[in-house]
Amino acid sequence: MVQRQLRERDITDERVLAAMERVPRELFVPADLREHAYKDAALPIGGGQTISQPYMVARICEALALTGRERVLDVGSGSGYQAAVIAELAAEVDTIERIPELAEVARANLTAAGYDRVRVHIGDGTRGLPERAPFDAIAVAAAAPELPQALYDQLEPRGRLVVPVGRRRVQRLEVVVRSPEGPAIVRSVPCRFVPLVGEQGFNGG
């Protein structure tokens, strides 16, 4: 997976590549899909949601430019996989999921894989996590119609927010840096994520 899907494409951050070598992805997919865990694809995890494609996880993590000292918020816990990869790259990780059953799945998967220091919260992640803010970096694993302002507001100065922004079926990954002049936005790869549902996301499922 790391060689063919990440390195031979355009992932170059050695810390990200090493983190993705270490996290056992098979522990984050439903038991009946284990044999497909390392495929170049998103996979269903229940509740109409998916564990993201490995490449998109790597892309998001690379865009966060983590050094190991950061406090990070992961929005859209799903299986917990992306939170585990971030835990390999940063000091502290909080992750928030709107579907309580999936938050439970994420918590169980993270514990089974040895990442019980990741804090799993239930709630609308489009509002961020005010009680733990500010964050050095925020990763969003679901598509937003526009830049979620509450998340930007919870960044440290020079903090980074990585979020797919666009329409329901197609988006671009945006890398946003908080600066005194306002958000500095770099549009990255086209992508397709499940919708971010909430106050500053899409309405309904």
Nearer to ligand SAH, 176 or 196 (CB): 196
Q: How many angstroms separate the CA atoms of 88 and 67, rounded?
A: 10
- The residue of the chain with the least Cβ separation from ligand SAH equals 78
> Counting contacts by CB under 6 A, is residue 96 touching ligand SAH?
yes
Tally Cβ neighbours within 10 Å of residue 147. 15
Nearer to ligand SAH, 41 or 184 (CB): 41
Catalytic residues: 52
Residues 6+ apart with CB under 8 A from 115: 80, 83, 84, 87
> Counting contacts by CB under 6 A, is residue 50 touching ligand SAH?
yes
Nearer to ligand SAH, 22 or 158 (CB): 22
Q: For 109-121, what is the HEC assignment?
A: HHHHCCCCCCEEE
Measure the CA dihedral 2/16/188/172, to 10°: 70
Number of residues counted as binding ligand SAH (CB under 6 A): 25
Per CB under 6 A, which region of 13-21, 50-58, 158-166, 167-175 contacts ligand SAH?
Answer: 50-58
- Bridge partners (DSSP) listed for residue 202: 197
Q: Contact positions toward ligand SAH, by CB under 6 A?
A: 49-52, 75-76, 78-79, 81-82, 96-99, 102, 124-126, 141-142, 194, 196-198, 201
